[in-house]
Structure 1
Amino acid sequence: MTKYGITIFLISLLCFFTSFAQVSADCANAVPICYNTPVNGGTNGYGIDDFNGASISGCITQGSGTIETNSAWYKFKIGEIGQLGFNIGFDSNEDWDFALYRTNDCSSLGEPVRCNYFDNSDDSSYIGVGEDPTGLDNIQYDDWLDVEPGEEYLLMINNFSNNNSGFSIQFSGNIFVEFPNSALDCDIIDNLLGPPVIACDNETVILDATTTDALDYEWYLDAGAGFQLIPGENDPQLSIAVSGMYRVLVIRPLGNNLISETQVAYAPSPETFPLENETACLDGTAIDFNVKDAEALGSQSPLEFRVSYHDSFEDAFDGTNALSKEFIPLQEAQTIYVRTTSLENSMCFDASETFEVNGIELPFLDFDTEVFICGDEPVVTIGQRIPNSDFSYEWSSGQTSSLITVAEPGVYTLSVTNTQGLIQCITVRSVTVVFSSPPVISDITIEYEDDASNVVSVYVEEEGDFQYQIDNDIPQGNGVFNNLFPGEHTITVSDINGCGSDTRDIVVVGFPKFFTPNGDNVNDTWKVDGLSALDNPVITIYDRYGKLLYQIINDSSGWNGTLNGSLLPESDYWFKLSYTNSLGENTSASFINNHFTLKR
């Protein structure tokens, strides 16, 4: 975790004015706070035990002695409604804790509404409520506090380390944005000069000691060597130019003179230096704004100032909606508003500078990533059809045009570059070229298990990415069809890459593989089922030598195994089928040339 120590100026100031810093070790004498001003001070020892011997209060537990260890107490009253937080800044080598109580009664503190007690092993420089001003995810922060007018709070700050170089309190939250002068109720302040003041070094602070019956005023400054009279300053108001402890002596007629003291510390006002414009590809690559911090700060220390970046001047001025330091540009032109803020006082800032982020268009490619070359088309053109004259094109094969013609299968990669100055934005897209041949049906077999079941198998000359379809059914990935209905069917084999198709017509019928014409009235005749699905079907039966033996016309009763009244011997016999097709043509059924057996 990055270390942010208290500024050298603040540390030295605390060392000089330890005896005058407004710190109370007792709750009963809690130092009042109003306005959005830090309170600086160190702690040394503790006073009365405000917890009456208790060993724990919220997250704060008893060490040696009481709960309080080098404690400091403060009180404040809410003047408006809103969200409130605070930052307690200290040297990262020290270990500070806090507990916040919603009450003004020190004798009945109750449980704290916010409490944090860690050993600061990660060398944090802040604890508090809300958000760490350095932007870190700090476990030593509790949730924001939602407050309403009239609520009073007591804040105990505890030093649990042997080091004690002091601390600062800076209030935060939207209540101070909406109500910068009334977020805290200043009626709580009894001190004539009011609470300690921290201001920006380009501001003028006026201390007001106006008293109704005053005869004269004397002003003193302690800049480290004790209080010294400021010559010539006798007005009820004093304009402050330097940091220090200020004292006023109000001389009154009855001798009941008033003495009041307060501390004024100036926080450095930052200056934001001009920043160079940035150029980046609109490809999701981030611009590291951390690098821009050095430009904005110039010679100023990052330990004193924090740089943030915003979409609008309003956000930069208010210190809200900071952009990520890993900024990803999403448009071709964008103005970035820069805010440089004092870590010591967030009201000291400069939001006067901007710079431009120029996004370079990434070449857009939309051509197909897969192309198929059919066997009868030996070449194909691939790539970006409409080129951009501002871009350069280069293929993995060496060509420098947006389109190329190829005659070989493979993967071809196109790189397109948009060059702007020294920035190159590149889009890469690959296309796979695949050779594909149209299917050719080489054979179809029809196997009949019996007169009711069949298997149709389709064969092609060469393997490919094919799909097989029977009539208008859903295509399938293989060429086997089972149990087709009797009748005429159309088989189509198509290349799934659009590289042609082949079609064949078949006829499916049913017939027994054998018959036994022995007069027992069982399988005495051989006939073909399903002929009724065809127009004008004729079955022609042959012997093994091709001699015509019998014809079955339409759906006749079949063949009884005789020729001219004589019984034919046991043997295998063949048949062919002819019919009138859907075009009205007399044709022989393809792939029907089967045989059956006559048994006696």
Structure 2
Amino acid sequence: MKRLALLLVLIGTVGILRATGGQSKLSISGPEKPVCIGSEFQLFAEGLNSMEYQWEPSEVFSNPTLKNPLVSIYKTTIFRVVRIDPQNGISDTAYYSVAVMEKPVEIIGNDYVCKGDSTYLKIENNFNHPYWSTGERERGIWVKTPGIYNVTAQEGCFRLYGETFVGSKTQPLAKIIASRDMDLCEGEQIKLTSFSDDNIEWSTRERSKSIIVKESGTVLLMNKNECGWDADEIKINVHAVEANFFPSHYECIAPLNLVLFNESDSRLEFNWKLNGETFSNEESPSIYLNENGEYQITLDVKNIYGCTDSKTIENIRVVSEEEYYATNDLVIFPNSFSPNGDGINDEFKVQSREITDFKLVVFDRWGNQVFSENGIDASWNGKNHNGELLPAGKYGIRYSYQTSAGHSVSKLSSIQLLR
């Protein structure tokens, strides 16, 4: 029984040796420096030739079942070998990485693609065997969608690798944002702002995001970017409004029916004030003034856009008949005349209205009366009562008349006789 137990122990020990294969730990040896892409080199697996070997990735090996196979690669590769003991089926695995000679390559093209359009990416023509992440093998490709694109190529022993990100852009949207409605009154302004920040250009030649407009006209906004341009426009209307009128009298005898003649635009709203108090909203009203004094008339106007203007006439005087005729003359005459027979200004003659019983008396510089005549058509030709020519110089005149209201007026003045 002791012999049988010892035999069983010995058999178990042999089994353990076989299970471990009696081999050292599996390892791989090969190039330690980057290799030229496409060049052939050899990898070495640790172990007996009687073992079975399976290399991966199998497609790069001349024979992936050899212990020390030949291999060629075009990119940095991690190799895996499985070693199998055919006697007991026990296997172990090892890994080995071989780098290829690499350097970066520039991808030439835009870093954006316009929505609905495409952009072109390429590498230099002297690089061989290009292969893009899209699966294309051309030197250049057209792309329509944003994303990360990469390419590999070959230059001699070097593997080239490049990567680029293509973003997305849209065509600009030109939109003018106004700070208020587009109907302005004189003196007002409006702020216009571009919705987009893309290459702003206003028809005013300004390039800021916002502009201030004070005048009527069409304002154009253009936005540009790499994907194109867009435009928007807005029309600004500045509405001028003017209050303008004149009264039928600036000074008159009480009582007075003062008529106001409105020369403002008839489409306006009107508000008439007498000494600050509203008395009418008519277009051309009249107002009865029966007390002596000075009056102020104001016209306020407003258009449909709320624009306003105002005009005031001050010192419209309503006076008594005595004061009126004391300060106002119904007779007009020149301050000189030249009785030389040339037909121009040869006579001193008055112009008058609403008077009767006109009398004219002329005096020389010493106070002597040299001429007189009665009647509304009275005139003086520069001669005395005897028809003799009077010398050039300054002469005094006295004239009198009756007004249409029966008021007597008498005044003094002077006239220059020229020869």
Answer whether TM exceeds 0.5 for this pair.
Answer: no
Structure with greater strand percent = 2
TM-score (norm 1): 0.33
TM-score (norm 2): 0.44
Q: Which has the larger radius of gyration?
A: 2
